[in-house]
């Protein structure tokens, strides 16, 4: 099997949808949108939390793998402690991952489901390995840890696919135009204080609003997954994304609520006769 196509095939596997939908309902019931879920997304960090946490179990388990392989009797206690630390840190890592997973598009959720299943299998194998070691069955414990490492590697492969092929968790607004000089924009209608208006400039879309301080705009591709902010609504001085309800402050583009973690680029607008001009505000 060509490893390069595994993630693509999983994304197209509609047969996974009943499990994806049931799991989605479960995550929504346990983790509704709000401050707790925003903390798990990493809104407070300005960066997704899940990929940062994954370093902990991966690091602990990889170190235990080395001790098991070449350490001999002397490093057995250290290997056991590392496996226990890996299991303990895998749990918050999984919860943060589930929060992110529930706000992805369906194809990514299919791959994400298998990614999660691999990692939960790895965690269970390492937990049983620890029990076996405690009971003196060291050889069996080491074999279980090797099986856990294999499952974690498969999970890591799919996590890499989600991040680097699909861009899950990557700032989708990173390509916003720099517009250092005032540049004319084309507006789809008059700017209002009630809802965003689509503006286009330099082959990019902005979402313009008439605020109490004058006209202003945000880059229109939401930093979470690229949702169309020009189709969003205005809530308390923020644009709310129509796809997963992230809210960005018009003043400075900051994230008021997730799942987005990266701020939205802000553009200053001014009128010059009939023309509307925009330039990017330095962050
Ligand atoms: S695309 Fe998900 S919140 Fe905007």
pLDDT tens across 217-237, in order? 999 999 999 999 999 999 999
State which H helix or E strand residue 215 sits in.
strand 214-219
Residue 282 banded pLDDT, cuts 50, 70, 90: confident
Residues 6+ apart with CB under 8 A from 238: 247, 248, 249, 250, 256
Closest protein CA for atom 2 of ligand 1: 244
Residue 64 confidence (pLDDT) above 80: yes
- Rounded average pLDDT over 260-270: 95
* Percent of the chain at pLDDT exceeding 90: 78
Please give the Cα distance from 224 to 243 (Å, whole number).
Answer: 9
Please give the Cα distance from 165 to 84 (Å, whole number).
Answer: 32
Ligand 1 pocket residue status of 84, Cβ below 6 Å: no
Q: Taking a C-beta distance cutoff of 8 angstroms, is the pair 91, 159 a contact?
A: no
pLDDT confidence of residue 91: 95
Q: What is the DSSP letter of 265?
A: P
Please give the Cα distance from 21 to 142 (Å, whole number).
Answer: 36
Strand 233-235: give its sheet, edge to edge: 233-235, 238-240, 247-249, 255-257
pLDDT confidence of residue 196: 94
Atom number, ligand 1, closest to the C-alpha of residue 245: 3
Ligand 1 pocket residue status of 260, Cβ below 6 Å: yes
Q: What separation, in Å, do the N-terminal and C-terminal C-alpha atoms of the chain show?
A: 46
Please give the Cα distance from 81 to 182 (Å, whole number).
Answer: 59
Ligand 1 pocket test, pick from 240, 246, 261 with the greatest ligand atom count within 8 Å of Cβ, gives 246
- Rounded average pLDDT over 96-120: 95
- Rounded average pLDDT over 158-181: 91
Closest alpha carbon to 235 in 217, 256, 254: 256
pLDDT confidence of residue 60: 97
Record the tokens describing residue 137, joined without a space.
Answer: 């069955």
Residue 35 confidence (pLDDT) above 90: yes
Cis ω for the linkage preceding 38 (within 30 of 0): no
pLDDT confidence of residue 169: 87
pLDDT confidence of residue 246: 97
pLDDT confidence of residue 92: 96
Atom number, ligand 1, closest to the C-alpha of residue 172: 1
Q: How far is the CA of 272 from the centre of ligand 1 (A)?
A: 33
Residue 194 banded pLDDT, cuts 50, 70, 90: confident
State which H helix or E strand residue 200 sits in.
strand 197-201
Record the tokens describing residue 104, joined without a space.
Answer: 């992805």
pTM: 0.88
Mean of pLDDT over the chain: 93
CA dihedral angle for residue 97, residue 99, residue 103, residue 105, rounded to 10 degrees? 30
Q: How far is the CA of 21 from the centre of ligand 1 (A)?
A: 19
Ligand 1 pocket residue status of 222, Cβ below 6 Å: yes
- Rounded average pLDDT over 174-192: 88
Residue 152 banded pLDDT, cuts 50, 70, 90: very high
Q: Taking a C-beta distance cutoff of 8 angstroms, is the pair 191, 225 a contact?
A: no
Residue 57 banded pLDDT, cuts 50, 70, 90: very high
Q: Taking a C-beta distance cutoff of 8 angstroms, is the pair 198, 204 a contact?
A: no
pLDDT confidence of residue 252: 92
């Amino acid at each position: 099997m060509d490893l390069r196509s595994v993630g693509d095939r999983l994304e197209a596997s509609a047969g996974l949808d009943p499990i994806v939908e049931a799991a989605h309902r479960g995550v929504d019931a346990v983790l509704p949108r709000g401050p707790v879920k925003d903390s798990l997304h990493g809104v407070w960090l300005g960066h997704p939390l899940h990929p940062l946490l994954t370093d902990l179990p991966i690091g602990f388990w990889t170190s235990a793998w080395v001790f098991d392989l070449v350490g001999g009797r002397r490093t057995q206690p250290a290997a056991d402690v590392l496996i226990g630390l890996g299991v303990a840190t895998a749990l918050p890592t999984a919860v943060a991952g589930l929060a992110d997973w529930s706000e992805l598009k369906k194809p990514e959720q299919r791959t994400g489901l298998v990614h999660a299943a691999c990692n939960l299998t790895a965690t269970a194998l390492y937990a049983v390995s620890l029990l076996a070691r405690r009971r003196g069955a060291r050889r069996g414990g080491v074999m279980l840890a090797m099986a856990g490492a294999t499952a974690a590697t498969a999970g890591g492969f799919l996590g890499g696919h989600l991040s680097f092929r699909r861009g899950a968790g990557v700032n989708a607004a990173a390509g916003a135009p720099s517009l250092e000089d005032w540049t004319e924009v084309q507006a789809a209608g008059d700017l209002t204080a009630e809802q965003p208006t689509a503006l286009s400039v330099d082959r990019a879309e902005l979402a313009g609003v008439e605020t109490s301080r004058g006209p202003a705009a945000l880059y229109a591709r939401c930093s979470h997954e690229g949702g169309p902010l020009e189709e969003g609504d205005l809530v308390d001085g923020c644009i709310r994304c129509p796809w997963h309800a992230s809210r960005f402050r018009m003043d400075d583009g900051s994230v008021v609520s997730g799942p987005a973690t990266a701020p939205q680029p802000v553009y200053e607008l001014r009128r010059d006769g009939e023309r509307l001009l925009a330039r990017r505000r330095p962050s």
